[in-house]
Amino acid sequence: MIERDFPARELKLYSSARSAGSRIDFNGREFLVEEATPEIFSDLDIALFSAGGEITKTLAPQAVERGCVVIDNSSAFRMDPEVPLIIPEINPHTAADHKGLIANPNCSTAVALMGLYPLHRLFGVKRFFAATYQAVSGTGAAAIKELDKQTRDWVEGNEIVNEVYPHQIAFNVLPHVDIFLEDGYTREELKMRNESAKIMEIPDLQVSCTCVRVPVFRAHSVAINAEFEKTVDLEEARRAIAGFPGSEMVDDPENNGYPMPLDYQGKIPCGVGRLRKDSAFDNGISFWVTGDQLWKGAALNTVQIAELLHKKGLVGVRASLSGN
């Protein structure tokens, strides 16, 4: 928020009792982290939640009751029909329908739609298949440390131990993100289907997704094969993506030009490349999207929603950040 010069009169940091009392130095200021309790929301206009689903289910309704608008980064309320699920570049109009609570989409969904939505506006997406390449930072700090340690242990010839993931992640890929459901898909894969349909307002959208964890520290990638209602034109498609806010075309295969995770760590836009007509669909396009899941997939999108609310006069300008 500070980097984007968000117009807040006051910024407060809150956490669980476990982390309360710590101090964070940022941008030349020291912030005291206080315990998040229902009472604190009476003095706040907006709260950005990143504390997990269970805490959100408990505290978010209490914050709303006290007149505070909550933007939540968990999956707790994403599919609630009364809660807008927003990517500001795609469905900002839904912000006006909020009843005090707004959901931030899953990281892979947000990155994928930054490439897919401009094409949908042109050709009308009918269905798509996606395979994700998800960085370990999506699991948290412990996963980053595990990948780092396993890599060092492999180089040094030491025993490799896995604790965060069910298998070694260094020099490996795991077709397993989140828990498996009865139909064989994982919960993460279900998010891609349901959230994409809600955000793009296509109730009957058909989606099949395979989510894969890869030994990359930060930034997710997604390979997408999409079928459209209208006949596709690649040059129109390239222009649409290049002109879409928050996306950029990196599509120069002759010179090895395509988006990669290393290039999109800490970067605001998502990169789209490998654009080509799909060989299995009559009206299909295959492409590749890469984006920082900690930024557009999480924190950046959350702050952009707050900026949207402020611009439309749907919230005040006091703010808090709530975490674990």
What is the full per-residue pLDDT of the chain (324 aa) written as tens digits?
A: 667 777 777 788 888 777 788 888 877 788 888 888 899 899 899 999 988 888 899 999 999 999 999 999 999 999 999 999 999 999 999 999 999 999 999 999 999 999 999 999 999 999 999 999 999 999 999 999 999 999 999 999 999 999 999 999 999 999 999 999 999 999 999 999 999 999 999 999 999 999 999 999 999 999 999 999 999 999 999 999 999 999 999 999 999 999 999 999 999 999 999 999 999 999 999 999 999 999 999 999 999 999 999 998 887 655 555 565
CATH of region 10-77+298-323: 3.40.50.720
The DSSP bridge partners found for residue 286 are: 225, 276
pLDDT of residue 257: 97
**Beta strand pairing status for 29-35 and 23-26?**
antiparallel
Query: Tokens 């699920």 correspond to what residue?
Result: 85
Say whether pTM exceeds 0.85: yes
Fold of 108-292: Dihydrodipicolinate Reductase; domain 2 (3.30.360)
Q: With contact defined as beta carbons under 8 Å apart, do 205 and 262 qualify? A: no
Q: With contact defined as beta carbons under 8 Å apart, do 14 and 321 qualify? A: yes
> Which residue ranges make up each domain of the chain?
10-77+298-323, 108-292
pLDDT of residue 35: 85
End-to-end CA distance of the chain: 18
SS3 sequence of the chain = CCCCCCCCCEEEEEECCCCCCCEEEECCEEEEEEECCHHHHHHCCEEEEECCHHHHHHHHHHHHHCCCEEEECCCCCCCCCCCCECCCCCCHHHHHHCCCEEECCCHHHHHHHHHHHHHHHHHCEEEEEEEEEECHHHCCHHHHHHHHHHHHHHHHCCCCCCCCCCCCCCCCCECCCCCECCCCCEHHHHHHHHHHHHHCCCCCCEEEEEEEECCCCCCEEEEEEEEECCCCCHHHHHHHHHCCCCEEECCEHHHCECCCHHHHCCCCCEEEEEEEECCCCCCEEEEEEEECCCHHHHHHHHHHHHHHHHHCCCCCCEEEEEEC
Q: With contact defined as beta carbons under 8 Å apart, do 189 and 212 qualify? A: no
Q: With contact defined as beta carbons under 8 Å apart, do 37 and 16 qualify? A: no
pLDDT of residue 321: 53
Number of other CB atoms surrounding residue 71 within 10 Å? 27
d(C-alpha 34, C-alpha 13), whole Å: 6
Catalytic residues: 107, 220
